[in-house]
Amino acid sequence: MAKQPVEQDAKTRIADEEKVLIIRSKDDPTAFKPLYEKYYKPIFLFVLHRIGDKEIAADITSQVFLKALVNIGSYSFRGLPFSAWLYRIAINECNDFFRKSKRSRIVILEDYMADFLYEEMFAHDRLEDLKQKLPEILKKLKYEELQLIELRFMESRPFKEVADILGITENYAKVRTYRILEKMKTLFTNHAKH
């Protein structure tokens, strides 16, 4: 039981340290370096998962951190981690890449992802069928719908963080997720009939 306050104290200390670095970065760009070093790898992997090409992902990740540094003055502390702001920039950069390159988004699925989505969509024994059809179903989603599903189910992010990354309210993220799951369920059911 005593462990929880210690963990909370550590989280608060880290958040306070980040806050100091963010404030200092507004006047001194070299103060941004520890933030860059802490978040480069997770942001790179986030972008790589969406883009599928290491060189392009590295370029986009560099652009994310450049934009973050240039716009650090507009960052405001709203009770969400600094990382959520970086992920939001990364999502926007990925969106720009797909829009400009006219490339299609590729979704990489692991078995556990299909299991998790299945639990959300169904209460009966069609898991193997869903695993086979899920890639086709995901291809039929709009890009914005796919982003929400990825953030929530494939990356296990809480609704509050999903909402901040996508620039929507937490309630809208929940409603939208429910509607997308219903759409996927309909697509699966219709796909099963053919």
Give the ranges where 122-169 is alpha helix by DSSP (H).
127-139, 143-149, 159-166
Q: Please give the model's pTM, rounded to 2 decimal places.
A: 0.65
User: What Rg do the C-alpha atoms of the chain give, in angstroms?
Assistant: 19
Distance, first Cα to last Cα, the chain: 54
Q: What confidence tens digit (pLDDT) does each residue in 81-125 have?
A: 888 889 999 999 998 898 888 776 665 555 555 555 656 555 555
Check residues 113 and 160 and name the one with the higher pLDDT: 160
Domain 111-193 has CATH 1.20.140.160: yes
Question: What is the fold of 3-101?
Answer: Rna Polymerase Sigma Factor; Chain: A (1.10.1740)
Q: What are the domain boundaries of the chain? A: 3-101, 111-193
Backbone φ and ψ for 17, nearest 5 degrees, come out as -65, -40
| Dist CA 35 CA 65 (whole Å) | 9
| Dist CA 153 CA 133 (whole Å) | 17
DSSP 1: -
Amino acid at 47: V
